[in-house]
Structure 1
């Protein structure tokens, strides 16, 4: 089932899953200033939208011929579980780092060895957290054809990181599409739209110019 990127962008804005504040930027955990904040967990409570997203993720997933669906903890886990259920495939999830007690596992669930493991994320920013999860799956002997996410900021550093790792990634919608939809809806004006584009082109310079790290 297809879910056009522009339609999903509109849903993200309507649900409040994405907030845009070019004039009063958010501060990320890294200290960077950003005009956008994304919390796709808000979509979990909206059944109709959630069902459309799961159907779209499942349709994309089939293209990669997975034998195991995996979710990146924590936000990717519910989406991975719903996709695995729809495709009748085993499911596992990947922690950011190994547990410091018990079995010390990083990949939780069935052993990934020998599987073609598709990793599902809710959001791709720089790509580094996704790639750490992918490396953990590879370390267990899995093949990771791609990372599939709901949304991406479309940052150049993420594209470079995935290319260097030799792992593909796809998203249902992206920052550029969302920015266009936000301007069309009047969520941001022309100046705000320009600010969003400037941030995407050079996040570090934009952050420094707005008092961030």
Structure 2
């Protein structure tokens, strides 16, 4: 399957299970401070065996070239939503798995990790989604402090709308692999009549200027705050 076909089917699965939530009156607030009228709850996929197997298939297809080129020794899941998806990928690749806590527990270079991470191990970070990628960079910092070598990040969904994300990942020598983004959701939603016209327009208005929408609804007003 090509990337567009994978993105289309991923978006369709997310819409089918009700993972796409829209509420302009009570915004969702991300850990990085952004306010948003929309949220993708990828963790719902864990309750649907056929869909989660399909998502694992898609993730492995998207990672195939990167793993062949750069290698992979350990699959790391980010607490908490990334852990089940990392487990399924690690099982399919027959690789060791660890998971990374959001905050250290205890002291030392491994205080944020659970599991064994050999020094110099090439690590694939797996998460459910990314908004502005800052939490992913924090996870990768923890992996480096523990002696790991992260380069590739696999997510099901990427917002792909917040300024500075691509440059920040590039400066960290990190490559993001995402199955779908908001443009895929909108395209499939139109094809399948998944949303009414008011909802579609509301999502489009947010996506056109997420920074202004966030600032006007109590969230951060720029990337640095």
The 1:190/1:163 distance shift into structure 2, 3 A limit, reads: farther
Tell me by how many angstroms 1:11 deviates: 0.6
Pairwise mapping of residues 34-113 of structure 1 onto structure 2 (< 5 A)?
A: 34-63=36-65, 64=67, 65-100=71-106, 105-113=111-119
Which among 188, 193, 198 is matched to residue 181 of structure 1?
Answer: 188
**1:156 counterpart SS class:** coil
Pairwise mapping of residues 9-20 of structure 1 onto structure 2 (< 5 A)?
A: 9-20=11-22
**2:127 counterpart SS class:** strand
Q: Distance in 1 between matches of 2:205 and 2:171?
A: 25
Structure-1 residue corresponding to 2:143 = 137
Q: Could you state the TM-score of these two structures normalised by the residue count of structure 2?
A: 0.83
The 1:69/1:103 distance shift into structure 2, 3 A limit, reads: closer
Q: Could you state the TM-score of these two structures normalised by the residue count of structure 1?
A: 0.88
Moved more, 54-63 or 42-51: 54-63
Tell me by how many angstroms 1:104 deviates: 6.5
Q: Distance in 2 between matches of 1:187 and 1:113?
A: 48
After TM superposition, the runs of 4+ consecutive aligned structure 1 residues lying more than 6 A away are 101-104
**2:169 counterpart SS class:** helix
The 1:103/1:177 distance shift into structure 2, 3 A limit, reads: closer
Tell me by how many angstroms 1:25 deviates: 5.0
**1:170 counterpart SS class:** strand
Partners of 1:150 and 1:173 within 8 A in 2: yes
C-alpha RMSD of matched pairs (Å): 2.3
2:177 is aligned with 1:170: yes
How many residues were matched structurally? 211
Q: Distance in 2 between matches of 1:100 and 1:115?
A: 22
Partners of 1:183 and 1:189 within 8 A in 2: no
Q: Distance in 1 between matches of 2:196 and 2:17?
A: 20
